[in-house]
Amino acid sequence: MTSRPTLDLPLVTGAWRERDPVGARKFVDLDRVVLESGDQLPAVRVAYETWGTFTGDNAVLVEHALTGDAHVVGPVGPGQPSPGWWDDLVGPGRPIDTDRWFVVATNILGGCQGTTGPASTAPDGQPWGSRFPALTVRDQVTAEIAVADALGIDRWQAVIGGSAGGMRALEWAIAVPDRVARLFLLATSPWASAEQIAYSSTQQAAITSDPDFLGGDYYGASRGPVAGLALARRIAHIAYRSEPELAQRFGREVQEDGRFAVASYLEHHGTKLVRRFDANSYLVLTSAMDTHDVGRGRGGVEQALARITARTIVAGIDSDRLYPLGQQQVLAEGIPRAKELAVVNSLHGHDGFLVEFAQVGALATQLLH
């Protein structure tokens, strides 16, 4: 039986809603996005943030991971529930130097921090909820291509992404290779593995099994599936870190309240996510990741990767048990202009791409030199 998060948590959803402060967000409104399934999403809004000055040929796209958003740089503030997740890498004089580059980050289609997703208002004036269509990573990139068109960006000097963000970066380079000059892929994969889908399915079940899920139509209720979302995050976070790190940090330590310290740590991360995320978005985005396969409909992975013309760096984390190095090796060997696989040494597992700023920054500098 799951324990319900308490403290100052939202009762229904942590999604950004239209009535909330805008913060640093800007918006592009699209007439529609045609999905791989043949369905259409009308009147799509995409939230984005930018840093630096656009000179016509200096744009860099930074792609966030599953529960990230467009707030790559900057503090917590009204409408911005979490600080920038790559503050140490993006900015003046930093590896992704905003004195030179015009950096753009979008919130993913289906997300919950300003871009159209299940918590957004549908054309009938009600939240999309359970009616929101299934998406693929390619659908999300289709929306991003439309945003680039709206911003007048014909070609990215680099597309950079880790984990789920790496999936979108990869799709950019395959779908429209002439629009990507450089590519930086971090802790990502050419397809979703059976184990990755297995982890995802347990997280999805944690949400849909919450009695407050209400089939996905919980926005008008007094409670939403916040307990299920928190549990999903706890499951995910085990895979995001490494066993040696958990052993070193927590071991079998028991707190004064009688709980294992490692269990308290996981609960902390679950409640943190509930404050800024939406359960339906979590389902939509993890399901899109489950369908990720660059070779689908393209003659296989080898032929798909051969389309990429961008100068590429592929990097993996040596302790990553969720996206193991073998997946990045496939990318490094299959992308024509990729260098030898770069291995980031880290105790922190998959989350190393968000933690090892010196090593990741050095690779970014090398690519953007």
Among all residues, which ones are annotated catalytic?
Answer: 163, 320, 350
Residue tagged 């944690």 (tokens): 206
Read off the DSSP letter of residue 20.
Answer: S
Helices (H), ranges, 209-255: 226-240, 243-249
Query: Which residues touch 73 (CB under 8 Å, ≥6 apart)?
Result: 49, 51, 84, 86, 87, 90, 91
Torsion-angle region of residue 312: left (phi > 0), alpha (psi -120 to 50) or beta? beta
Torsion angle, alpha carbons of 303, 308, 311, 313, to 10 = -60
> Around Cβ 275, how many Cβ atoms within 10 Å?
16
Give the list of residues 6+ apart from residue 262 with CB closer than 8 angstroms, or none: 246, 249, 250, 253
Count of C-beta atoms within a 10 Å radius of residue 175: 17
Q: What is the dihedral of CA 51, 54, 60, 63, to 10 degrees?
A: 50
Q: Which of 292, 289, 341 is nearest to 313 (CA)?
A: 341
Q: For residue 10, what are its two tokens?
A: 């939202």
What three-state secondary structure class fits 29?
strand
In this structure, are residues 241 and 267 in contact, taking their beta carbons and an 8 Å threshold? no
* Torsions phi, psi for 44 (to 5 deg): -85, 135
Nearest to 320 by CA among 237, 235, 240: 240
CA distance 258 to 249: 17
